[in-house]
Structure 1
Amino acid sequence: MRTMIRRGLLVPIAAVAIFGSTNSAAFAESMEATPVEEGILQPGPPPEEEEGFESAPSETEELPPTSGKPPADGPSAEYCGPTKHVYKPNANLGKAHAGIGVAQANYNATSRTARSWFKSEVGGEVGVTVSSEVKASASVVVSEVEAKYGVDLSAKVTAKVGNEIQVDTPPKKTTYAKFGVWRMKNTGIAYTIYSNCTTSPKKTGTTFSPWCVGWYLWER
């Protein structure tokens, strides 16, 4: 895949986010937080993901039945079904880029605009990651976020070697390029419903759900 950026279409600040998808407009309209749009330049490299996040399990872990009576205000039946981990997104925090491999860079030492051409040299998979409060599976997280915001996401996205992008580099500037996967960042309420109809305390958790393969570019 080759992507070309015309400098005349961009405002001359420090960086640009590029997405490898055709549904960016519909995606942007569904977001409550300020998104990173195609063609909008960013002030610097993408921030590193916060600590404390781990990969979500591919499927909900099977837990043994819970003994005991249901709460007084709960259903009359003691058994409600298998234990279920729940995640309900309630705030969209925009897009976040998960880089694969190191950033590439090209310095233009001339007095005229030069063309920089970047090509991905490392590929890999990026899946759903969650904070410790979220116990739901990747499939549950993705389905809940999709339903909440009307978008198409994936439990796992593969970024392949060979993806290309071209961009104009101004005189005496360095263009940086990082290849990877764009993800939706959300916060929501996480809890567990046990087989005896009791519910664990509700906590606020954060999730990152893969959306599409793309580049993150910036200049200095």
Structure 2
Amino acid sequence: MRISRAASLLIAPGLAIAVLGVGSPASAADPTPAPAEAVETAPPAVPEEADLVEGTVGDTEAAPPTEAAPKPPAVPPAQPCEPGYKWESTAKYKRFHKGVGPTNANYNGTSRTARSEFISEVTGEVGVGVSGQLKVKASAAVVEIEQEYGVQLSVKLTAKLGNKIAVDTPSKYTTHAKYGVYRLKTAGYNQYVYANCTKGTKTNATLYTPARVGWYIWETK
């Protein structure tokens, strides 16, 4: 990247590529452009969730409860229900960033605003995260959340190597950038539905569902 004027550049040890130039053009393109949210003043929140592991709950549904099914209603349903766990959403929150690879950092030691360019150095997949227990298939929960809130989500997204983004760095500030996947936080519960259409105990959980790939940007002084 061409630097049009003298610029001070400091890159924290062990971090991914970062370039700073005063008056240089913006750059944020690869085969899958990854936009950033608004510039923050603090790093991404420490995750409270655990990522689902392939081959465990999330790919398959949990075993039925051991307790007996509740008594059927006085008026039996016209059609029996398909037994199994169901997911019901109860609340939608903001999106939280799950990083892939190292955090980039760039210090602007000049007396004027400059452009910092960041490039992702790794490729990584981010799936559904959960706080609590998820007893339904992750794909079934994702479909329910999409329908409930009119959003588009995925069970898994890939943050790719080589994505670039350029942002303004104020004088004497450090811009930090982390590439990864934004996941929508929702609350809800698992509930087993029996063949006689009665329902079992509710088990609460919070899900973090992949929504889009992007950069998380924050500044410090």
TM-score (norm 2): 0.73
Q: Which runs of 5+ in 1 are unaligned?
A: 5-18, 22-37
Q: Is the 8 A contact 2:58 2:134 kept in 1?
A: no
1:3 paired with 2:28, answer yes
State the partner residue of 1:159. 159
Q: Which runs of 5+ in 2 are unaligned?
A: 1-26
**Secondary structure of 1:44's match?**
coil
State the partner residue of 1:44. 42
State the partner residue of 1:127. 127
Q: CA deviation at 1:81?
A: 5.5
Cα separation, 1, equivalents of 2:130 and 2:37: 29
Which of residues 49, 52, 57 is equivalent to 1:55?
52
Q: Is the 8 A contact 1:95 1:184 kept in 2?
A: yes
Q: How does 1:96-135 map to 2 (within 5 A)?
A: 96-135=96-135
Q: CA deviation at 1:161?
A: 0.4
Cα separation, 1, equivalents of 2:145 and 2:173: 39
Residues 23-62 of structure 1 deviation map (CA, whole Å, 9 limit, x = unaligned): xxxxxxxxxxxxxxx65332211101115x3417443337
Q: How does 1:13-28 map to 2 (within 5 A)?
A: 20=34
- 58 and 203 in structure 1: CA distance in 2 versus 1, 3 angstrom threshold: closer
**Secondary structure of 2:188's match?**
strand
Residues 99-119 of structure 1 deviation map (CA, whole Å, 9 limit, x = unaligned): 111211011111122211100
State the partner residue of 1:214. 214
Cα separation, 2, equivalents of 1:164 and 1:94: 25
Cα separation, 2, equivalents of 1:113 and 1:69: 66
The structure carrying a bigger helix percent of its residues is 1
Cα separation, 2, equivalents of 1:84 and 1:178: 39
State the partner residue of 1:176. 176
**Secondary structure of 1:145's match?**
helix
Structure with bigger gyration radius: 2
What is the letter of the counterpart of residue 43 of structure 1?
A: T
**Secondary structure of 2:183's match?**
strand
TM-score (norm 1): 0.74
1:186 paired with 2:186, answer yes
- 193 and 75 in structure 1: CA distance in 2 versus 1, 3 angstrom threshold: farther
Task: Give RMSD over aligned pairs.
Answer: 2.8
Cα separation, 2, equivalents of 1:75 and 1:101: 57
Could you list the structure 1 runs, at least 4 aligned residues long, displaced by more than 6 angstroms after superposition: 64-67
